[in-house]
């Protein structure tokens, strides 16, 4: 419950702070002006990172015990926040940026004692601080800038960082790194709150404040994870957990240096720029990068106990394949818009049935599944019953208030309701007997097919795929890998998949809602009534 509260607190704080900060950014001219190397068309506030940092820190302060590690991390984040906000408002010289980054890194190294002590190919004995500290500083400054430099498309840096945080939290959970897991949940909650406004087309950017914050936190957590929390993990794993941003940074800076230019000179040589040059749409480019990042983090999980040589070879091999494909594509001037597959897919116009009825069917399936499942559950634990009652009161108030209460996001009430219902359905004997697993699997598979048609072939903007949608689908796909590696229990698979599929279906439905009261919201109210009224058996 602490992790859920941590995630929810960070998400809510971030979402609540962003709108007023956006208005303040416009007044202070803290906006991102488009130029020849950027892909957005209008001036967009770049102050979302401030909301993310505050949203993540508040639950961490509340739930983590104060110690030297936490104190050093918070001091370092404060330094990054100051320099990041300064940079977002004034476009600092890169030397001043590095000053702030080095100061933050030195604080976390010296105060929190965060450093590499075991190196790849050098055995298990700790190395000297004369080698450890410089390498740690180089790594943390590198990860901070890697995520910062990769922040070029809506939802890109946030989604890639979210995948890194998920993998770090998973490995920390099985290595008894409870503090790491909690920090990951706090930062992930802030990221999700930010994505609410940053999904294409973005209303706000995270700016250097947010991208440096994410890169720095991910770098610090990977070091603590592999050097303190679970020393059995391969020391190469941090490269996988940070993933694509490192390769992007090395590739771009190497190219600039080879051309006799400054490694910090802006251009359109980043990986996401090269993917866009192939004729990909914005969300398709982000989706490809998400899949690539998933490849890195999954390999990191799979190779976590393997030899240094195997892990490092796998990292170099995947990176070489990725860069090789991009270089060949540029050399041969590939363009997906001219491919035969794209031509035939473009001929698949939305039929009247897809356009008019697909979403309605999704809505009814979700509602009936949740209502019937909640009705057959025999009993509800007291904590969930109380939580359902609180959600019911807030939801009814929100629906009755309509536009006057829009600051209360409907998603924050619907998603926990779905999570409660699915959890109970998969842990209640009577529900398991009356709704067999095969029936549930078939229903969810049918729902996935409907979702696919809704997001791929319909013309209406309600159905357009966004980077966040692709991220959700990718996370579902990763569940099977966790089970295969015995990281996730078999009985948790249907519950995890069910939750994510229903979350995604609910998101599609809520996007096209034109009024507060409808079949979907009325169904969610019924679910909460059923859950809050059942006594513990």
Q: Is it the case that residue 464 has pLDDT exceeding 80?
A: no
Instruction: Give the Cα separation of 493 and 86 in Å (integer).
Output: 45
Q: Is it the case that residue 531 has pLDDT exceeding 70?
A: yes
pTM, whole model, 2 decimals? Answer: 0.72
Q: Is it the case that residue 227 has pLDDT exceeding 50?
A: yes
**Cα angle: 47, vertex 114, 13; to 5 degrees:** 30
Q: Are 529 and 392 in contact (CB under 8 A)?
A: yes
- Neighbouring CB atoms inside 10 A of 305's CB total 10
Give 59-71 pLDDT, tens digit per residue. 999 888 888 889 9
Residues 57, 23, 508, 434, Cα dihedral to 10°: 40
Give me the residues paired with residue 44 across strands.
32
pLDDT given for residue 349 in this prediction: 45
Q: Is 343 exposed, middle or buried (0-12, 13-18, 19+ CB in 10 A)?
A: exposed
pLDDT given for residue 483 in this prediction: 45
pLDDT given for residue 34 in this prediction: 60
Three-state SS at 45: strand
Q: Is it the case that residue 143 has pLDDT exceeding 90?
A: yes
Give 381-390 pLDDT, tens digit per residue. 887 888 888 8
Instruction: Give the Cα separation of 283 and 313 in Å (integer).
Output: 31
Q: Is it the case that residue 109 has pLDDT exceeding 70?
A: yes
The mean of the pLDDT values for the chain is 80
Give 265-285 pLDDT, tens digit per residue. 777 778 887 888 787 777 677
pLDDT given for residue 56 in this prediction: 94
Averaged pLDDT, 220-245: 90
pLDDT given for residue 180 in this prediction: 93
pLDDT given for residue 84 in this prediction: 87
Domain ranges of the chain: 2-341, 348-533
Q: Is it the case that residue 140 has pLDDT exceeding 90?
A: yes
Largest CA distance in the chain: 74
Instruction: Give the Cα separation of 447 and 425 in Å (integer).
Output: 18
Q: Are 511 and 464 in contact (CB under 8 A)?
A: no
Instruction: Give the Cα separation of 45 and 65 in Å (integer).
Output: 35
Number of H helices, E strands in the chain: 22, 2
Q: Is it the case that residue 138 has pLDDT exceeding 80?
A: yes
pLDDT given for residue 478 in this prediction: 52
Confidence category of residue 441, pLDDT binned at 50, 70, 90: confident
pLDDT given for residue 258 in this prediction: 82
pLDDT given for residue 481 in this prediction: 45
Give 151-204 pLDDT, tens digit per residue. 777 778 888 898 899 899 989 988 888 899 999 999 998 998 888 787 666 788
Confidence category of residue 471, pLDDT binned at 50, 70, 90: low
Give 281-314 pLDDT, tens digit per residue. 776 777 788 888 888 998 998 888 888 899 999 9
pLDDT given for residue 493 in this prediction: 59
pLDDT given for residue 460 in this prediction: 46
Give me the residues paired with residue 524 across strands.
none
């Amino acid at each position: 419950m602490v992790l859920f509260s941590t995630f929810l607190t960070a998400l809510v704080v971030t979402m609540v702070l962003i709108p007023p900060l956006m208005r303040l950014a416009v007044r202070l001219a803290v906006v991102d002006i488009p130029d020849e190397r950027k892909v957005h068309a209008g001036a967009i506030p770049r102050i979302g990172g401030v909301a993310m940092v505050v949203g993540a820190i508040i639950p961490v302060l509340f739930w983590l015990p104060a110690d030297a590690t936490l104190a050093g991390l918070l001091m370092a984040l404060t330094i990054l926040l100051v320099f990041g906000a300064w940079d977002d408002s004034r476009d600092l010289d890169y030397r001043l940026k590095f000053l702030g980054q080095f100061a933050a890194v030195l604080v976390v190294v010296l105060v929190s004692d965060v450093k590499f002590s075991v190196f790849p190919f050098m055995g298990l004995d700790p190395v000297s601080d004369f080698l450890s500290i410089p390498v740690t500083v180089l790594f943390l400054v590198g990860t901070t800038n890697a995520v910062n430099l990769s922040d070029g498309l809506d939802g890109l840096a946030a989604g890639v960082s979210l995948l890194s945080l998920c993998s770090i939290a998973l490995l920390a959970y099985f290595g008894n790194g409870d503090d790491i897991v909690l920090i990951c949940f706090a930062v992930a909650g802030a990221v999700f709150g930010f994505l609410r406004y940053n999904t294409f087309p973005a209303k706000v950017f995270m700016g250097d404040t947010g991208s440096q914050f994410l890169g720095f936190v991910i770098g610090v957590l990977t070091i603590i994870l592999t050097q303190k929390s679970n020393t059995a993990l391969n020391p190469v794993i941090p490269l996988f957990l940070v993933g694509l941003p490192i390769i992007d940074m090395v590739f771009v800076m190497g190219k600039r240096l080879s051309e006799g230019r400054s490694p910090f000179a802006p251009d359109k040589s980043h990986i996401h720029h090269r993917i866009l040059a192939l004729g990909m749409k914005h969300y398709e480019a982000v989706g490809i990068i998400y899949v690539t990042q998933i490849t890195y983090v999954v390999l990191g999980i799979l190779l976590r106990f393997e030899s240094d040589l195997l892990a490092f070879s796998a990292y170099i091999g995947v990176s070489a394949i990725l860069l090789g494909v991009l270089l060949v594509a540029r050399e041969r001037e590939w363009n997906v818009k001219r491919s035969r597959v794209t031509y035939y897919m473009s001929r698949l116009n939305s039929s009247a049935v897809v356009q008019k009825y697909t979403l309605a069917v999704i809505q009814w399936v979700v509602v009936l599944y949740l209502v019937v499942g909640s009705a057959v559950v025999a009993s509800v634990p007291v904590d969930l019953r109380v939580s359902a009652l609180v959600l019911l009161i807030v939801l009814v108030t929100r629906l009755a208030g309509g536009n006057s209460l829009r600051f209360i996001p409907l998603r924050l009430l619907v998603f926990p309701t779905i999570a409660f219902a699915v959890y109970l359905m998969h842990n209640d004997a009577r529900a398991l007997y009356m709704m067999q697993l095969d029936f549930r699997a078939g229903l969810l598979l049918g729902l996935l097919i409907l979702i696919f048609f809704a997001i791929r072939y319909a013309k209406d903007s309600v159905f357009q795929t966004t980077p966040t949608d692709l991220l959700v689908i990718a996370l579902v796909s990763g569940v099977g890998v966790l089970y295969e590696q015995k990281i996730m229990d078999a009985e948790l698979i249907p519950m995890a998949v069910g939750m994510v599929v229903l979350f995604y279906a609910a998101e599609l439905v809520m996007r096209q809602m034109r009024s507060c009261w409808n079949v979907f919201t009325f169904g969610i109210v019924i679910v909460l009534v059923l859950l809050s009224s059942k006594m513990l058996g």
